[in-house]
Amino acid sequence: AVVSTQSTGLFRCGHSKRSGTMKFNKLVSSSRRKNRKRHFTAPSHIRRKLMGSPLSKDLRAKYNVRSMPIRKDDEVQVVRGHYKGQQVGKVVQVYRKKFVIHIERIQREKANGATVYVGIHPSKVVIMKLKMDNNRKRILERKARSRQVADKVKAGKHTEESIMES
């Protein structure tokens, strides 16, 4: 008897190789294929969240927030790749379709002589100065509040030293 490989599914493995950790939400897939599909077909309002950048050390200390979705007039510094350096540039455009941002002085010359902005992924920059408005203030306050709650929960947990003392 010849066994058909198509019906038994010998070639396509339906499970992923995960470590021994449990999933937090069974409704969220851990499949690489599905995650990549959802990432690259994400609508604009979800891409905004995906295109977040970390805040600089002093902004992080000031607002008690680690990262924010990037915005047009933020001032950023590139920290990874060919264009990394100390200069701070203003974000000229957030190109959600391509998952990149264009920064003021980061340009290159094309073969025909025209200058074009070089696309840089927002995770490879650090926000040095935020363009503030009421919505941004509300987001910062909300994130700081949730961070304070998380810190209180962490403070309530036992450490090895506290267990040894009791």
Q: What percent of the chain has pLDDT over 70?
A: 83
Single pTM value for the model: 0.77
Q: Is the pLDDT at 3 greater than 70, yes or no?
A: no
Do the beta carbons of residue 157 and residue 87 sit within 8 Å?
no
Task: Categorize the per-residue pLDDT at 10 as very low, low, confident or very high, splitting at 50, 70 and 90.
Answer: very low
> In whole angstroms, what is the distance from residue 9 CA to residue 122 CA?
40
CA 74/CA 128 separation, integer angstroms:
8
Q: Which helix (H) or strand (E) holds 155?
A: helix 134-155
Exposed e or buried b per residue across 67-82, where buried means at least 16 C-beta atoms within 10 angstroms of its C-beta: ebbbbeebbbbbeeee
Residue 150: per-residue pLDDT: 85
Cite the beta strand spans of the chain per DSSP E. Answer: 52-54, 67-69, 75-78, 89-95, 100-103, 107-109, 115-117, 125-129
pLDDT at 78 (0 to 100): 95
Q: Give residue 152's pLDDT.
A: 81
Structure tokens at 28: 């969220």
Q: What is the pLDDT of residue 87?
A: 86
